[in-house]
Structure 1
């Protein structure tokens, strides 16, 4: 309690200082960053679980209404990411992490009130979902702080671990929801919220006691730095790639349970049975995708972000095409009066879980591109080594916030496209076609910009300094 909370000098590239204690400081701050971003991410996904406790006969909301609630939380999470990243760097990692955890106590309590008193109109649920969306802002802020804590050779691991453990929050709250559904049914949804009230308190107190404000990073992220990356083509290429990868993961994590519940009901199950069976499966996709993100960070450190990004989107094309085929076959079966079969449900689950894993890997790979791109560009600036690395770090932090916001907007798009697809046609097939086209575009863009052999700006495969062609391009 008596130690200083401020670090005025921080250079993780200084090997001597790193081994003399810098790595321990980074680990301690990273641990509490991960704890808090995991819990905040869970609260962001609170309504993806709560809608399973809301049968239409009691609350009066259709599948489209529930997807709108999810889309609202996703939208606010997207819009909050840039201001949250700016605030974390200005007020300090410790101060902002503590504050952002305390703020989330408000919508968590609000969800208890709404769910305990059915009969409210839709708008209070949308307001509460919007406030839970603030948990999504923690994501980019935490990644930007993790990026600044670690040296270039370990950034892929640090970003992959932080992002992966954050993404596990979506699986974690769904697993908690499954336990509550299995033990207490629809009558006690407040237990899910109560558990996260406790976890928010633990995370906030831990951040206040054990984290540091790295004052050396305060000047790193600003409106000026955001403006500086706007003219850079790679900023928009990476943002689009992250929109496709992260947007798919985030959107599917919100919508997967709803898609399953909708189809289980169509197969003849009651709402209660459909909700339980959807909850039993829904958490698996975000869980495996989150773990895949950690693996994707390691793979990107070894093979390069560009190659891993291309591979992930190539796999997503196959998985997306598979979902199109499964859904089109299901439409044909229903048109002839047949029910949703077990084989069809199995196909949906396999396709979605494959996309969770592939987009989880893609999220880590795209974020690995960010520090690599600016590290490469920094060599043409004529700065000394410390200034060059600081320039690359602050530009990377700015793009992490920008790309993170775009990724969350992709999650909004997933939910809105699915909602429109259900409302217009009663099926998911048109939405799956749109997702497939996006994966094809992302794969082509990744190959053209970061893989094509004769392009001078291709990124080096390893974690060390960029190759000579990269320096020339930069």
Structure 2
């Protein structure tokens, strides 16, 4: 038995955390009481923070690989891949960037449960190591210009597993922290993961430029650059997997609550919030993955400006500002006093953002186009924070209302609301990520059948306004109990 403790050996005032070599294998902590102030200060805080930082690193690499195709597809035509040349380049590019989004969304549901089955340490190690398959596979595929598109579609699907890392990481970290510190910890975890999108969209164009510098600006040189880009993440993947295995822990009391999941799935608020999360996180992911392709398609002359190509036409700025604005959204929702009020304003802002994008295309201004998208990404980040702020509020108030109607104690209702909110987050996150796939396919189908993406953009603007209306109808009407005292409900949750 190995003890994990920051307390002196002769201090028997509280129980310390223990990690045992259980039959499951790995380092398991059998006793974990983060709500106990003495336990938290003497033992829990250090262990929780260590697990948080290694989780952030592994999740960041997961996002980095998840979004890898968004950059690679912009140079595959130059590398001699026929299916990425000419009129089919944009459509096939959107197919390849949408497959990881679809797979990542699907993986979020089983990944949420995996932590409670295999332990956070083991599953973080596995989910990070899994990313070696698509990166090494791409390095091989890029060596041959005759590699068919279906091979890249399979590799894109495997890269999509990186998107599932978000759910397992969030589920794992939520068990380590007390309620009073959970929001900040999950905000750091989420923002750290989201930043992987910006890191890839900044780093990989620079790697491609470096590869071309070492070789030549011909198809063979581009293939070498793409191989180099695929291998770029391999050392980081290995570091993330080793870091998780050597430095993370698993909690024996992190068990799934089947009853809470069943209640959450029957609660209409789960599905309403999932729909709203399509508009915030779905937009962030969908536009992040498609942004490099959209810039290249709408402003092809930028390919003649070397520095712009090396910086990926500044596409990384969108994901960067969207990631940093996410925790700000949660903070701002607290200041305003209602996540719902801010979320409604977010959807109105997104509709205006789309209108600004359409105006920039009408006048052919890249500066306005980039600025409009940056504003759009900032708003989606704020919306991601505000919608996550709404979830515990809504479920706490819903459970309290049911308790009053059925004569249950307030304490039981509060505990039930917390468990249902935690259970609902996994499904809401999965549906929200699926929204990114819907957005990309809407753009692709509009381009294929109508010859322009404008109808898809305007349709999305209309959906944003609809989402604002849904937010008002369910969570802002003065007759609705949840919106009358959101801060109190959240505080008591």
TM-score, reference length from structure 2: 0.85
Q: What residue is the counterpart of 2:437 in the other structure?
A: 412
- Of 352, 365, 380, which aligns to 1:359? 380
- Of 202, 224, 233, which aligns to 2:239? 202
Q: Distance in 2 between matches of 1:57 and 1:203?
A: 30
Q: What residue is the counterpart of 2:28 in the other structure?
A: 6
Cα 1:259–1:63 change in 2 (3 A) is same
Within 5 Å, give how 1:364-403 maps onto structure 2: 364-379=385-400, 380-381=402-403, 382=408, 385=411, 391-403=416-428
Cα 1:238–1:311 change in 2 (3 A) is same
Query: Unaligned 5+ residue runs, structure 1?
Result: 331-340
Q: Contact (CA 8 Å) 1:308, 1:365: kept in 2 or not?
A: yes
Cα 1:10–1:165 change in 2 (3 A) is same
Deviation at 1:20, TM superposition (A): 3.3
Cα 1:138–1:57 change in 2 (3 A) is closer
Question: What secondary structure does 1:6 align onto?
Answer: strand
In the alignment, does 2:466 pair up with 1:441?
Answer: yes
Cα 1:12–1:238 change in 2 (3 A) is farther
- Of 220, 230, 237, which aligns to 1:193? 230
Q: Distance in 1 between matches of 2:417 and 2:295?
A: 44
In the alignment, does 2:336 pair up with 1:299?
Answer: no
Deviation at 1:148, TM superposition (A): 3.0
Q: Distance in 2 between matches of 1:119 and 1:15?
A: 62
Question: What secondary structure does 1:252 align onto?
Answer: helix
Cα 1:164–1:389 change in 2 (3 A) is same
Q: What residue is the counterpart of 1:86 in the other structure?
A: 113
Query: Unaligned 5+ residue runs, structure 2?
Result: 4-18, 20-26, 213-221
Question: What secondary structure does 1:58 align onto?
Answer: coil
Cα 1:249–1:167 change in 2 (3 A) is same
Q: Tell me the alpha carbon deviations over residues 383-435 of structure 1, each in whole angstroms, 9 at most, x when there is no partner.
A: 685x6665344322321110111111111012111111222233221121121
Deviation at 1:193, TM superposition (A): 2.3
Deviation at 1:465, TM superposition (A): 4.9
Q: Distance in 2 between matches of 1:91 and 1:388?
A: 30
Q: C-alpha root-mean-square deviation of aligned residues, in Å?
A: 2.5
Q: Contact (CA 8 Å) 1:459, 1:466: kept in 2 or not?
A: no
In the alignment, does 2:43 pair up with 1:21?
Answer: yes
Q: What residue is the counterpart of 2:294 in the other structure?
A: 259
Within 5 Å, give how 1:132-151 maps onto structure 2: 132-151=159-178
Q: What residue is the counterpart of 1:68 in the other structure?
A: 95
Within 5 Å, give how 1:201-280 maps onto structure 2: 201-220=238-257, 222=258, 225-265=260-300, 267=301, 269=303, 276=309, 279-280=312-313
- Of 308, 325, 328, which aligns to 2:342? 308
Q: What residue is the counterpart of 1:114 in the other structure?
A: 141
Cα 1:388–1:31 change in 2 (3 A) is farther
Within 5 Å, give how 1:422-441 maps onto structure 2: 422-441=447-466
Q: Contact (CA 8 Å) 1:39, 1:169: kept in 2 or not?
A: yes
Q: What residue is the counterpart of 1:158 in the other structure?
A: 185
Q: Contact (CA 8 Å) 2:204, 2:229: kept in 1 or not?
A: yes
Deviation at 1:230, TM superposition (A): 1.9
Q: Distance in 1 between matches of 2:358 and 2:95?
A: 23
Cα 1:20–1:310 change in 2 (3 A) is farther
Q: Distance in 1 between matches of 2:467 and 2:429?
A: 16
Q: Distance in 2 between matches of 1:286 and 1:391?
A: 35
TM-score, reference length from structure 1: 0.88
Q: Distance in 2 between matches of 1:373 and 1:404?
A: 16
Q: Distance in 1 between matches of 2:366 and 2:310?
A: 11
Q: What residue is the counterpart of 1:58 in the other structure?
A: 80
Q: Tell me the alpha carbon deviations over residues 184-217 of structure 1, each in whole angstroms, 9 at most, x when there is no partner.
A: 2334122222221111111111111221212212
Deviation at 1:447, TM superposition (A): 2.0
Q: Tell me the alpha carbon deviations over residues 335-388 of structure 1, each in whole angstroms, 9 at most, x when there is no partner.
A: xxxxxx4xx222221121111111011112111222222333444543685x66
In the alignment, does 2:209 pair up with 1:182?
Answer: yes
Considering Cα pairs closer than 8 Å and 6+ residues apart, tell me whether 1 or 2 has the greater RCO: 1
Q: Contact (CA 8 Å) 1:157, 1:298: kept in 2 or not?
A: no
Q: What residue is the counterpart of 1:337 in the other structure?
A: none
Residue-pair matches, total: 450
Highest Rg: 1 or 2? 2
